[in-house]
Structure 1
């Protein structure tokens, strides 16, 4: 009886040990299974081939010029002020130039003196030429008077050139507009001394606003899509939401090595003078990109010390932290310009603790 009871106790103890071992094994398997992160993945969506690109721009006049005096003098009168619209050749100001006036009078008097000397030398040379033919004077003497005549002729020609220069300087006392435009600066007053050349301050600044130039800097990834004649829409914040139509007129045809952007110019007609230079603009271009860009949710990005990464799941279901290059930010979604492929599986909402080569399990309902 005791032996049977002992056998039963031993059997019960063995059964309990086996049950505990089985439970421990199941716990270990569950722990290992739960240790592998379960992730949701998605496939990147290709960005549309035709994309609109909006860039900030600066508006400049079609042409502008700083007007300086070509002669030294005093301001006698000015006729236009800022905001005045002028025509090419219109008188803007008059200068009083006493020094140039006196130099011109002196030059004209010197020319008259030299012309008289030339006439006398001509008469003398002709007379001695006759005497040489008659054998009454030596040939050398005749040659001397002919040489004197040639010297006097050259002196008169130099006087004429000097007088012509002074007459031109005299005309420069009248400041005129080089082209049709609007006066944007006036920097002179009656009686002010004006020095010739660009060393002093300019007298006026004139701008042609019949057309406007809008300058933008296109990023490198879109530079190849920009071409001459491409339509553009220009919106100016100071003019509300009304858009202005323009077109790409020219590009620098080379990237700026510092910013990696392409300087591009858009021409906008301004015949109605509705726009003014210097305002801030937004330029919208419709680009057909040749690159393979993708759109991904913003919550797929990982910010690591080594740079921006996206967590991918490879064929062996291990994590690969892929470096990428971002394009435009659309808020909830981001454009990726390089680093992704159409077959990639991207982890959605990746944990910051993910590391390269970590095994993961993909959720049954992939996105």
Structure 2
């Protein structure tokens, strides 16, 4: 058995024991030499620490002053057409128009599909004839009312005469009863005549509705573009049979386009309608626009909110469905730029930095990461001016006195 590996293992175990379990004693032994080296360094570089006592731990610190930085919410999203619709048939019929091929530019009102009218024109003529017939019944009904009113006046005169004669004893009771019956019959005739007028007017309304329905049915034979745009599909082929709901064509409008992204609920308060936004497309093209919509209801699955940015696309250079990286501007914030190696964790696992407080005492401060850059990380939740330990922060804890050597802060 070789003795050297055994001795080496014992030495390593003893060293680990001293470092782990006797760490404070080791620091006590090392502090005088560290303090002497620190004093020598401070004389040349940092006169402000000349009064540090021999028990202070030497560290390197940086005095950082908060800066105002532009803050932006970064989203992954896509482009989306401002308007897109599939126009469909509202009635049945054969297509009698030549098809228009996809990619063609169309204007609002242009004919996309035209259907065979069949017998619809004859149905319209029939409806119009019934309307004329119904309109002709009205004068006849009104004349009947006039005639019935005349009979009422005549019956009223006869009744008055019979009543006077009966009172004077010159007419029999039978004549008076007969006059009263004639009066009632005349009154009933007026009511029937007026009902005839109402019936004639109702017939006119029904005939008018039939005419309007026939005209609307003919209008449905011509399918037009609801707005100007580009054809995303061919229009229906000549001779194709279209049923109600059968697509004629899909039209897309791209002269304005939307950038659609989804912001997490943690950042939704940073996004405002009217904020300036930019985006970089996968093609490398950069565009700029304005936030025009922010959803007030989160997606049930992702808990994110829909954001729409409208941008100009007059040259139609941007297509629907392109991937985009969207940056939405928000209010600027004050933050510190520090090296990522400066970050550390406390005993509870909270991310932060160790700082030099009053009296050169170590104090841990939690931070919030804002942005990671090539120069370092931007952090917030720190005071306006703070001394951050950049070297040695892992070997000190809260309450330990240090002798800091200051370096220049990152610009």
For 2:148 and 2:373, the matched residues in 1 are separated by: 99
Change (3 A) 1:83 1:303: farther
Q: Residue 153 in 1 paired to residue 153 in 2?
A: no
How has the CA–CA distance of structure 1 residues 316 and 292 changed in structure 2, closer, same or farther, with 3 Å as cutoff? same
Distance 1:251 1:332 in 2: 35
The whole-number CA distance in structure 2 between the counterparts of 1:187 and 1:305 is 69
Deviations 1:344-363 (A, max 9, x none): 33232566x66853636344
Question: Is residue 172 of structure 1 aligned with residue 220 of structure 2?
Answer: yes
Partner secondary structure for residue 89 of structure 1: coil
| Cα 1:265–1:92 shift into 2, 3 Å | same
Q: Within 5 A, what are the aligned runs for 1:247-262? A: 247-248=289-290, 250-252=292-294
- Give how far 1:216 is off: 4.9
Structure 1 residue ranges without an equivalent (≥5): 1-25
Change beyond 3 A, Cα 1:339–1:286: closer
| 1:91-145 alpha-carbon deviations (Å, 9 max, x no partner) | 0012346586676566445545544554553454444444444448612113212
Structure 1 or 2, whichever has the larger Rg, is: 2
Distance 1:104 1:354 in 2: 96
Aligned match of 2:402 in 351, 358, 361? 361
The 3-state SS of whatever aligns with 2:321 is coil
Moved more, 249-258 or 38-47: 249-258
For residues 47-196 of structure 1, the aligned pairs below 5 Å read: 47-50=67-70, 55-77=75-97, 79-96=99-116, 104=124, 107-108=127-128, 110-112=130-132, 114-115=134-135, 117-118=137-138, 120-135=140-155, 138-186=186-234, 188-189=236-237, 190-195=239-244
Displacement of 1:296: 1.7
Once the two structures are TM-superposed, the CA of residue 177 in structure 1 deviates from its matched residue by: 0.8
Structure 1 residue 172, shift from structure 2 partner? 1.5
Q: CA deviation at 1:322?
A: 3.0
1:327 Cα deviation from its structure 2 partner: 1.4
- Could you tell me which residue of structure 2 aligns to residue 327 of structure 1? 370
SS of the residue 1:344 aligns to: strand
Superposed CA offset, 1:301-334 (max 9, x none): 2367955512323436555443322112214411
Tell me, in whole angstroms, the C-alpha distance in 1 between the residues paired with 2:105 and 2:193. Answer: 61
Aligned residues: 331
Separation (CA, whole Å) in 1 of partners of 2:316 and 2:377: 40
SS in 2 for 1:292: strand
Cα gap change, 1:162/1:53 in structure 2, threshold over 3 Å: closer, same or farther? same
Aligned pair in 2 of structure 1 residues 186, 36: CA closer, same or farther (>3 Å)?
A: farther
Paired residue for 2:386, among 344, 349, 355?
Answer: 344
Q: 1:203 aligns with which of 238, 248, 257?
A: 248
Distance in 2 (CA, whole Å) between partners of 1:331 and 1:108 is 80
Against the structure 1 CA distance between its residues 247 and 209, is the aligned structure 2 distance closer, same or farther, given a 3 Å change threshold?
same
Aligned-pair distance for 1:218?
A: 6.6
Structure-1 separation of matches of 2:367 and 2:27: 39
Deviation at residue 266 of structure 1 after TM alignment: 3.8
Residues 67 and 304 (structure 1 numbering): CA distance in 2 closer, same or farther, change over 3 Å? farther
- 1:43 aligned residue: 63
CA 1:40–1:59: 2 relative to 1, 3 Å: same
Q: 1:71 to 1:304 in 2, by over 3 A?
A: farther
Q: Note closer, same or farther for the CA distance 1:93–1:187 as it changes in structure 2 (3 Å cut).
A: closer
Instruction: Quote the Cα distance in structure 2 between the aligned partners of 1:304 and 1:77.
Output: 77
**CA shift in 2, pair 1:360/1:67, >3 Å:** farther
TM-score, normalising length: structure 1: 0.70
CA RMSD of aligned residues (A): 4.2
Q: Deviations over 1:26-48 (max 9, x none)?
A: 99952465798643222334334
